[in-house]
Each structure stands twice: as C-alpha cells, then as structure tokens.
Amino acid sequence: MELVHQSAELRFEVNGQRLIEQIEEVARTCYKSEDLIGPGTAAKMVMRLRDSGHGAMLEFGDLTFLLITDRGVTHEIVRHRMASYAQESTRYCNYGKLGVRFIYPVDFELDTQDLWMLDMIEKHYNSCLDRGRTPQQARYFLPNGLKTEINVKMNFRELLHFFDLRCDKAAHPQMRELAVKMLAICKETVPIVFDEVDT
C-alpha cells in the first residue's frame, strides 16, 4: 500500500500564443475581418471575446491534462460534459501486480487506524485475486480514495466554467486543490484567457 499526492500536468506540449491566434482566426470569420489580423491582434481579440462573454469562440482552444487524483474526485470531474476523458480502468488494471495506491487527503490527517484500514483493503483486494477473482470482480472492494490517472481534455470555455465551480471556496477540498493546480498551469500557458480567474 502506498500513499501519493495528487498532481496535474499538461499532457502535451502546447504553444499558448498559437492557441490564441487560432481563436482570433475563427472569430474573425464571424465578422469577416480577417484582414485585421496582425502582430498583437490575437491577444486583444481574445480578451474582448472573454470579457464580452462570447464563449463560443473560446471553444476553439483546448488543453489536455494528465491528472493523478482519487476516484471520488474523478466522479466530480466527469460531470463536466464539454470534455473528453480517458481514465485508468479498475476493470482491467490488476492492482495485485501494480500495487494498490491511495491519494493523501488534503482536509484531514490519516491516523494509524486509517492506515490500518487502507492496508486491509489492499490485502483483501489481493486475497480476492488469489482466490481466482478477476480484477473486475476484486475492484468491488476499492474505495473512493484509490489513486487513479485520468486524461482530461477541455476547451477554454469549459475550463473557465470548471474553474468557476471547482476553485470556489465551497468546492470539495480535494477537488479544489487539483483545480487550483490546473488553473496555475492555464495561467502560465495561456494567460490572456485565464489571468483574471481568481481562486
């Protein structure tokens, strides 16, 4: 049994400047103002789109994250419909071979009884496999705290909505910590779109 911290990283290398230029190009189609594209115009256009609430154009930029978190948090993430997901499968992953791992909770400390329980969960999971059950059957005993990896692709409009909900102080603490990490990446990668989002 192992405990790990949750994390967020960009899955693929991206060029933030190219992404905002791409948004400008498609937006100018709407206004037939492609002739106005020039040095520095993309940032101004994207800020106008963002500030005016013309979010449809922001759907033409997206980012893909690799998130390491717990199963409970992924149940919240996948409620965001305007996204694509590829998640580690407890049906097919054999944690008897991979090892059962759990995510450190951010809003309370694990005590010795908690750690004992996590150890018992791993032992019971492995016992199921030893008795001939498949990983699909043994997963019945795995909790929400189980570490999982999920690839999440969201367009900028959905990311803004996601951060509005998930960075809020009322959000689940585990979810909020992960969303704040994702937001920091977005602010670094495409500040024009995300620089005014607060946590």
Residues with catalytic function = 166
* Residue for token pair 């717990």: 70
Q: Where are the alpha helices (DSSP H) in the chain?
A: 16-31, 41-52, 71-77, 95-98, 112-130, 135-138, 156-166, 173-189, 191-194
* Residue for token pair 């018992």: 120
Q: CB count, 10 Å around CB of 126? A: 16
For residue 6, give the nearest of 82, 69, 81 by alpha carbon.
Answer: 69
